[in-house]
Amino acid sequence: MNNCFVETSRLLLRRLEEADFPAYAAYAVDDEMSRMMGRAFLHTETDIRQNFDWLKDKEPRCYGIVEKANEQLIGNLNIVALPAPLAALPQLQGKRGQTLSFCIRRESQRKGYAAEAIRAVIAELFDDEHFDFVQCGCYSFNTPSRMLQERLGFQFLANLCVPTPQGEAQTIEHILWNPRRTPMSDLNAYFKSVIDQDTASVVLCDLNHTIVHMNPAAIRNYAKHGGAALIGRSLLHCHNASSNSRIQEVVNWFAASPEHNIIYTYHNEKQNKDVYMVALRDADGTLIGYYEKHEFRSPETMERYAF
């Protein structure tokens, strides 16, 4: 098949064809699917035709998802350039990546088709096209899509507020790094475990002040403020204007020089600990975020080797 992009045991991903229009129209009229995709509702044949022709003729990497058993179109998947706000993120500078979006008709959901198609596309983009990462997102209310992306190994990247025909909505943007082009990613599980085993709170933030990770100690300690629900939200919402100004001042200082990596912020008398802000940098030294480091000064009371 000349227009076939990838093939799996059950699916073909190929360019859309005119013969696909009836099957496309059957699922394009689903208002809930349109809402999850952030597009206008497609109720008339004219609207559906315009949308279909755009995907078929104007989107160079839009592929129909076809069930091989009956040669029927059950969805579509797009590969496009990153949205400008994500492309501008410091951690993506100098890296090559593409954004995926996808939909599966309601009757074919919960059968593993989406995961099967996405895995095949990721393999193509990583192994044959040598991209550094694949990016994928969804609206915050699209829980099935978010859970699918997380199962496939995507990690939180950022939140965006974008306009939709139904009003402004927040997205959850994820990223998956190509392990062959980022060998240090093999150590991520070890680094995460170091953080998660720490008895002090560790809250990692990106340069937009979005909380990207909280270790179990932080989730417990900040439970009354939302605990794990704080992940994906802005740290600035947890502080007053004066503190937020100080946080931004420190981040600006981190950004001014790769030698600026840690700064003492205050001493907590009640817990007898010193608190620092620490810069987070990638392998090239580019600033990608920050976290708060707690150093307790009280002697350990635990018995030595108390198994």
- Give average pLDDT by consecutive 10-residue segment, the chain, 307 residues: 84 96 94 86 92 95 96 96 93 92 94 95 94 94 92 92 85 89 61 90 92 92 90 90 94 94 95 95 87 92 88
Q: Which amino acid is at 44?
A: T
Decide if 75 contacts 103 (C-beta within 8 A).
Answer: yes
Q: What is the pLDDT of residue 267?
A: 95
Q: How far is residue 130 from each of residues 61, 121, 126, measured CA to CA in Å? A: 17, 12, 5
Q: What is the pLDDT of residue 29?
A: 93
DSSP per position, 145-177 = HHHHHHHTT-EEEEEEEE--TT--EEEEEEEEE
The answer to whether the Cα torsion of 168, 147, 100, 43 is positive or negative is negative
Which residue is it, tokens 């919402």? 237
Which residue is it, tokens 């090239």? 284
Q: What is the pLDDT of residue 285?
A: 84
Beta strands 97-104 and 133-139 are parallel
Burial-class residue 26 by CB neighbours within 10 Å (0-12, 13-18, 19+): middle
- For the CA atoms of 236, 239, 241, 246, what is the dihedral angle to 10 degrees? -80
- Return the DSSP state at 184: G
Q: What is the pLDDT of residue 183?
A: 47
Q: Could you tell me if residue 94 is left (phi over 0), alpha (psi between -120 and 50 degrees) or otherwise beta? A: left
Structure tokens given for 271: 């817990």
Nearby residues of 244 by Cβ (< 8 Å), 6 or more positions away? 236
CA distance 14 to 128: 17
Strand order in the sheet with 169-177: 4-7, 11-15, 62-67, 72-80, 97-104, 133-139, 169-177, 155-162
pTM above 0.75, yes or no: no
Nearby residues of 76 by Cβ (< 8 Å), 6 or more positions away? 16, 24, 55, 62, 63, 64, 65, 102, 103
Decide if 166 contacts 117 (C-beta within 8 A).
Answer: no
